[in-house]
Structure formats: C-alpha cells, structure tokens
Amino acid sequence: MPVITVREALRQALHELMQDERVFIIGEDIGHYGSTYGVTAGFLEQYGAERIRDAPIAEAGIVGLAIGAALVGMRPIAEIMSVNFSLLAFDQLINHAAKIYSMFGGQMHVPMVLRTTNGWTQLSATHSQSFDVMFAHVPGLKVVAPATPYDMKGLLRASVADPDPVIFIEHTLMYTVKGEVPDEPYEVPIGRSALVREGRHATVVTYSRMVHLSLQAAEVLSREGIEVEIVDLRTLRPLDMSLAIESFKRTGRGVVVTEDWQSFGTSAEIAARLYEYGFDYLDAPITRVNFREVPMPYSKNLELKTVITVDRIANAIRDALK
C-alpha cells in the first residue's frame, strides 16, 4: 500500500470528491495561491474557477454561502484556513448550519463540510487556539478530527457524503505525517473510534495530533515496563466511547490527552464519560494533559512550555499509575 502524507491523502480525497458535479470548494487563497498548506494546489487549473472559488476575507460569507448552496442540493466544501478565523462565522455555523434541519421540521438538510485547522508554532495568542469543544458542544453539527492519512482520506469522503454539516478539523503540524493509504476510494465512518495501540496498564484516550505524541510516550514507557493502550476517538460528535470504556475496564487507569485548554474542554467531557460508564472500574483518578491555561505566548521558549510534549504525556501516565 502506498505511503503518503496527510496533505497527499486529503488531495486524493478531494480529487475523488470533485468527480461529483455537486461538489465545489470555496475559501480564502485556495485557488490562485493553492491554499495555505498546499492541499488544493493545481485544483483551480484542473477544475476551473466556478468550482474552485477564491473568497474574500469574509468568513461569515463563506460559510453562509456554503449553507445556502447545501440547501439547494450542492455539496460545498468550505475552507477556513485557521480555526481561529471561524469565530467570525460562528453565527452561521451554530445558529444556521446546525439548526436548519431541526427548525424546519426535517424538510432540509445542510450537507456542507467546513475544513479548518488547529495548530501553533509561533503564531501567537490569536492564531494558536483550538475550538474543538465549541463545535462539539453543539447538537446539529458533526465534528471530525482524524490523526492519520488513512483516516483523513476516509473521513473526508464520509463527511462530504454525510447529509449534515460536518466540521472537519485538520492540524497545521500534521500535513507531513505519513501513513499507508490505498489508491482506491473508501470511507471511514463518522462516529467510530479506533484502538491504535494495545496495552494493559493504562488507557490513553486522545485524537488528532495527540495520537502521535501519545504513541511516542507509549514507546518511552514501554522501556520502563509500562504498556499503555491508546484509543483514537477520530470523531468528537457523535462521540464513540465504546472502545475507550472497554479498554478502561481492563486497565482501571485513564489518561486523556487533548490539545486545548483543560477547563471545560474536550478532555473534561471524555473524562466525565469514563467516570460515568467506568465508575466501578476506576482504580485512580483520571489524569489529563492539555495546553497550559494561558493565551499562547509568541516566545518560542514560552510556547514550548505551554503546549503538550511527549514528556508531559509520559509523566501524566506515570501519575495515573501511582
């Protein structure tokens, strides 16, 4: 099976999807510039300006347009280059995209996909945030955050095929991550988690880029005789905790790793589910690894103190095993 990057996996998925006449892509700098992370490089030349639409810097407009197009039968893929800019489109996403199906008695679906990115690396406080929890909080949205090239391709296809609005969250530090991806089209179903490592001492529940860091931490701990099991949630809404809880019932120790602030964050929801459904199996408090709770510093040294490292994950697992 070919080994390709996340970027290449997304490009493959988009090329396949563009075979469907209903699909078009809209976003800032996605056409002439080929998109900030190069995912749609060459698409404008191949598919033309009607289906690869460069948008003005007007996020609410981009999302509003996508919603309207979806309502009349199109399959829009809107791109907001950084999730930080999606704040400008929140009213469209939350009060319109997420509500139209329910508020109009199920007469209309909104089959749009919003591709966007989390990420940091000296982008400073306003451009280094993660709002997974804000999307995942809202009934009516689906939220997908894959970690591997295989899941990126399969879940992007499933997202476009889905009748409801899907927030598809990528990560700026993951585009070069490599993995096996079949050439042919396939879908990975939304709302299914995956067991990515087996172990018996502790259960790590995570998603997106933190899957990779958790795997590295697991290798470090393996040399100490600690074997952790890792569950990649892949989708935040609907949230599939079945594998995580099953694993937790075997280990009795849980660690949740999410790349956002801890308070009221995704890790809080995940830990709460472990407590609720795994209570009788709990052998220690669940530990969590998150961003330090400060606006992201620009200074490189301070930034590295704020974000999650392999060491911090390994230490949290050791703590959970005390």
Partner 1 sequence: MPDVTMPKMGFDMQEGTIVRWLRQIGDEVRRGEPIAEIETDKVTIEIEAFDSGVLREIVVAAGQTVPVNAVIARLGDDAPSPPAAPAAAAVEQPSSPPAAPSVPAVAVAPPAVDDREVRASPLARRIARDHGLPLAGIAGTGPLGRVVRADVEQALTARPAAAPSAVAAPTPAVVAAPTPAVVAAPTPAVVAAPTPAVAAPTPVAASPRGDLVPLTSMRRTIARVTSQSWQQAPHFMLTMEVDMGACLALRGSINAGRPREAQIGVNDMIVKAAARALRGFPMLNASYSDAGIELHHDVNVSIAVALDAGLVAPVITGCQSRSLGAISRESKRLVALAREGKLGAADLQGGTFTVSNLGMYGVSEFVAIITVPQAAILAVGAVRRVPAFRDDSDEVIARQVMNLTLSADHRITDGAEAARFLGEVRRSLEQPLELLVD
The catalytic residues are 59, 127
Nearer to partner 1, 50 or 279 (CB): 279
Kindly state the smallest distance separating residue 312's Cβ from partner 1, in Å: 19
The DSSP element (H or E) to which 41 belongs, if any, is none
Nearest distance from C-beta of residue 144 to partner 1, angstroms: 33
Size of the site for partner 1 (CB under 8 A): 8
Q: Under the criterion CB under 8 A, does residue 283 sit at the interface with partner 1?
A: yes
Span near partner 1 by CB under 8 A; candidates 102-110, 157-165, 203-211, 279-287 = 279-287
277 near partner 1 (CB under 8 A): no
Which residues are 235's β-sheet partners? 144
Report the nearest approach of partner 1 to the CB of residue 268 (Å): 19
* Extended beta strands in the chain, E state: 3-5, 23-27, 52-54, 75-80, 113-118, 142-144, 166-171, 178-180, 194-197, 202-206, 228-232, 235-237, 254-261, 287-291
Chosen residue from 60, 88, 161, 282 binding partner 1 by CB under 8 A: 282
Q: Which stretch binds partner 1 (CB under 8 A): 86-94, 145-153, 278-286, 307-315?
A: 278-286
Residue by residue, DSSP assigns 198-222 as --SSEEEEE-THHHHHHHHHHHHHH
Q: By CB under 8 A, which span of 177-185, 258-266, 274-282, 306-314 interacts with partner 1?
A: 274-282
What is the C-alpha to C-alpha distance for residues 295 and 277, in angstroms, rounded to an integer? 33
> Could you tell me which of 62, 59, 57 has the C-alpha nearest to residue 24?
62
CB closer to partner 1, 137 vs 273: 273
